[in-house]
Copies of this chain bind each other. A is one copy, B any other.
């Protein structure tokens, strides 16, 4: 079809230029728009609807575990940010500062929140007095600002949307459990909702969150061999509690510091969806977050009965997010358009289909067509949506496996990175200097995580040859 071809030609092929392909998809699928505000982006309806699906899904996972939503101020006074030393050192360089309010110079400048640990701690001090007040399991949906020099839609922007969970616990053990539990929530969410498998594990000290004792991460692998930090979960111990003087009376009547966690997942996850599942025809959306799950395209829609039948089918499928496109665009244009937008299932219905009591279903992933009986439509739709999800998982698992390599020598490491990219499993002595050296030598490869189950690839560090302490998964990152 001529129109089909034309639309497809509008986007750059992934293999030709992955970065340009990404930008093209983001624009042509109408996910976002640029704005004159440097580093900030506009979420268009289709892009924001994906985030709304993500919010609904994650929010119900959080609430099922007893978390409650709250909302903290968007500003952090300079003195409040200063309270925890490591934290302020990590974030101060990327803060945006409000210095004027209501035409007056402020006596104390306010940081637009880059993350809200300090605000939560200030509040925790007011509401935590006894072990009976614990745990506090809070979450917040909001936007945060971290000043960026170079930006890329969804992946790196000065303002982004996210959720940040902040919890306080009676014991270190409980807080550690929460930290791991929430990483598991992210892992399940990525797999079950976004159809994205990933590695999970612990960050090295160099890569952990500013102020945290331990940071856990989920690391999916993009189509082009670059990793993306998909979400992080932090254990803080009682460092912030001490800095903010949060004390509760324990079961033994002694004053104690509570133990803290935080965990966050952002709109960057939309970037992960695009770069994990997309193809040269555009976006492919996992059914669970697709703003339109089924697009009904009436064929020869001017013929009597076609639009009526399409509407009847839409009403039968109202358990799903379903839409009819009865615009005056050509059928070929519509096919391309909804492929670009990554709609999981296309349903074609025309006069001949109606006559034979059938319709045609097309999977966005495999692009296979299936003629199905209208009598059995609900089951067929459920099956195909499940197939789309399963096929996306299978392809992503294949990609993850194919892009995971091992290296026991630095030569192997450099060669693998240069020729294949992806994740490289390699042994590490535990010294930050080796992380720095690997980054320098490769021009950007960093430790992604120490997985929960480590393999013994060799006895010595891939970089310095000293005794190895851990197997690390290394990679380039967005």
**Chain A residues proximal to chain B, CB less than 8 Å:** 33, 35-37, 40-45, 48-49, 51-52, 68-77, 80, 92-103, 109-110, 112, 119, 122-123, 126-127, 138, 142-143, 145, 147-149, 158-159, 161
> Is the Cβ of A99 less than 8 Å from the Cβ of B101?
no
A116 to chain B minimum Cβ distance, whole angstroms, is 10
Q: Is the CB of A48 within 8 A of B33?
A: no
CB–CB A72/B35 < 8 A: yes
Does A97 contact B100, Cβ atoms closer than 8 Å?
yes
Interchain nearest-CB distance for A460 vs B (Å): 40
Interchain CA distance A71-B99 in the complex, whole Å? 25
- Measured between beta carbons, the chain B residues less than 8 angstroms from A41 are 73
- A37 nearest CB across to chain B (Å): 4
Complex Cα distance, B73 from A142, in Å, reads 12
| B-chain residues with CB within 8 Å of residue A110 when the two chains form the complex | 37, 96
Docked-complex contact B147 and A102, CB < 8 angstroms? yes
If A35-B73, A99-B100 are given as contacts, then 10 extra A-B residue pairs at C-beta distance below 8 Å, sorted by A number, are A33-B123, A33-B126, A37-B75, A37-B77, A37-B119, A42-B72, A51-B71, A74-B159, A94-B102, A102-B149
B33 touches A73 (CB 8 A): no
The 9 closest A-B pairs by CB, nearest first: A102-B147, A40-B73, A45-B68, A43-B71, A97-B100, A37-B73, A101-B147, A96-B101, A99-B99
Give CA–CA (A127, B30) in the complex, Å. Answer: 10
Shortest distance from the beta carbon of A350 to any chain B beta carbon, whole Å = 25
A126 contact set on B, CB distance < 8 A: 33
Minimum C-beta distance from A83 to chain B (A): 11
Once the chains bind, are A76 and B37 in contact (CB under 8 Å)?
yes
Q: Which residues of B contact A147 (CB under 8 A)?
A: 101-102
Residue contacts A-B, CB under 8 angstroms, 16 given? A35-B72, A35-B119, A37-B110, A40-B74, A42-B71, A42-B123, A44-B127, A48-B71, A93-B102, A96-B100, A96-B101, A96-B110, A97-B101, A99-B100, A100-B109, A102-B148
Once the chains are docked, how many angstroms separate the CA of A457 from the CA of B96? 55
Q: Are A77 and B45 in contact (CB under 8 A)?
A: no
A74 close to B123 (CB less than 8 A): no
Q: In the complex, what's the smallest C-beta–C-beta distance from A98 to chain B, in angstroms? A: 5
- Find chain B residues with CB under 8 A from A73 CB: 35, 37, 40-42, 159
A332 to chain B, nearest CB (A): 19
Contact: B94 with A112, CB < 8 Å? no
Given contacts A40-B73, A102-B93, contact A127 B33 (CB under 8 A): yes
- Tell me, in angstroms, the Cα distance from A147 to B119 when the chains sit together: 20
Whether the pair A40, B75 counts as a contact (CB closer than 8 A) is: yes
A407 smallest CB distance to B (angstroms): 36
Q: Cβ of A45 and Cβ of B69 under 8 Å apart? A: yes
Chain A binding surface SS class: mixed
A97 touches B96 (CB 8 A): no
Q: Which partner residue on chain B sits nearest A291 by CB separation? A: B68
A142 to B43, CA, bound (A): 13
A80 to B35, CA, bound (A): 11
Q: Contacts of A37 on B, CB cut-off 8 Å?
A: 73, 75-77, 80, 110, 119
A123 to B95, CA, bound (A): 26
**Could you tell me the distance in whole angstroms from the C-beta of A270 to the nearest C-beta in chain B?**
12
Q: Contact check, A69 vs B97: say whether CB atoms are below 8 A apart.
A: no
Provide the residues of chain B in CB contact with A103, threshold 8 Å.
Answer: 92-93
Checking B77, B80, B93, B96 against A98 with a beta-carbon cut-off of 8 angstroms, the contacting residue is B96
A119 cross-chain contacts in B, Cβ below 8 A: 35, 37, 42
Given contacts A97-B99, A97-B100, whether A143 and B74 have CB atoms under 8 Å apart is yes
Chain B residue nearest in CB terms to A102: B147
Q: Closest residue of chain B to A44, judged by CB?
A: B70
Output the least CB separation between A394 and chain B (Å). 33
- Residues in B whose Cβ lies below 8 Å from that of A44: 70, 127
Cα A70 to Cα B33 with chains together (Å): 11
* Docked CA distance A72–B42 (Å): 5
Of residues A72, A102, A109, A161, which shows the largest number of chain B Cβ atoms within 10 Å of its Cβ?
A102
> Chain B: which residue is nearest A100 at the CB level?
B97
Minimal beta-carbon separation of A44 from chain B (angstroms): 6
Closest chain B residue to A104 by CB distance?
B147
Contact at B45–A122, with CB atoms within 8 Å?
Answer: no
